[in-house]
Amino acid sequence: MTTNYHFCLVGFGNVGKAFARLLLRKKSELADRYDLSISVTGIITGSHGRAIDPAGIDLEKALNLLETGKPLDELDRGDAPAESAAFISACPAEFMFETTPVDYQTGQPAITHIETALNAGMHVVTANKGPVVYGYQSLTALAKNKGCQFLFESAVMDGAPVFALFREVLGGANLTGFRGILNSCTNLLLGMMAEGKTLAEAIAYGQSIGIAETDPSGDVDGWDAAIKVAALVTVLMGCPMTPPQVDRTGIRGITPEMITSAKSDGERWKLVCSARREGKKVIARVAPERVGVDSPLYSVNGTSSYAQFELDVLPGLGILESDPGPETTAYGLFADFLSILGVRGK
């Protein structure tokens, strides 16, 4: 007998839309392999309206509306509230998926979204780094108290199973440090600068393909990398950390002369993220570094990302994600949903 689950989607930007397309693509597979079906009963956006339909929103129509610049409101069958917390409370769902933009300083309003959903008895999956860094302990405790789960696989390396790896596979292992490239935008920008582009030209290209934001400072100044480092340290190393506690230097200071000097020595500039445990403290850093061909970071190009973990039982364990996009982030959300249900591949 097929079991139907109801989803509330908070945020419907590139990741949210990719998630909707993934649900459509996986519809038959979910039914055939797992006896599951999904109805999206609510979608709320920051600028394209909102809709609640207890019988299920037509995702094809929702995607078409946004592609034609029309609001979602015409799909509403439940007098959907405009305020997000009220919307979440009014939406009949067992799962809430949160994909709103990150706030590097407070994690809001995503934390409030998640608290509201958990208090309503919903499981929560987010791609947002903010609530992981600023609310991990409190949100995990609230989820446990409500008999729900709070997962966030997509928050750091898109769909790559970083948190699940430690949660489900590496039992008894202790993370002592890590090093890698966690911001795909700056990796692309530095690669283009190595080909002769200026930083401004590289940013313009990144914006044209949707990799760089209209305001690229979150990437260029290292904030996105810092919040990802803080999330890994907080969750995997058991040491609460926020972005201001990460020693952070962005890539604005990288000049053409520095690029040329590195190339002449057979090296490349990379924005390197790292953390290491020293006694009871964890020292975390984000900064540009020159790496040579002997480093696994040297060949991580384009929008790819890489993390190498050092554990007390394994000297080095690396994860490479090649050129991720919204589709891979959407998969992380999907995988968390199946993990909450206890579903494994078969």
By annotation, the residues acting in catalysis are 228
CA dist 152 to 44, 123, 133, 139, 160, Å? 19, 11, 11, 12, 11
| Tokens at 89, concatenated | 């409370």
Structure tokens at 91: 């939406």
Q: What is the DSSP letter of 165?
A: I
Q: Is 9 helix (H, G, I), strand (E, B) or coil?
A: strand
Biggest CA pair distance of the chain: 65
| Cα 246 from Cα 202, distance rounded (Å) | 26
Range list of H helices, the chain: 14-25, 27-34, 59-67, 84-90, 110-119, 129-145, 154-157, 162-164, 184-194, 199-208, 217-220, 223-236, 256-264, 326-341
Task: Please list, in sequence order, all residues whose beta carbon lies within 8 angstroms of the beta carbon of residue 269, skipping any fewer than 6 positions away.
Answer: 190, 193, 194, 251, 254, 258, 259, 262, 288, 289, 290, 291
End-to-end CA distance of the chain: 18
Closest CA to 183 of 245, 243, 134: 243
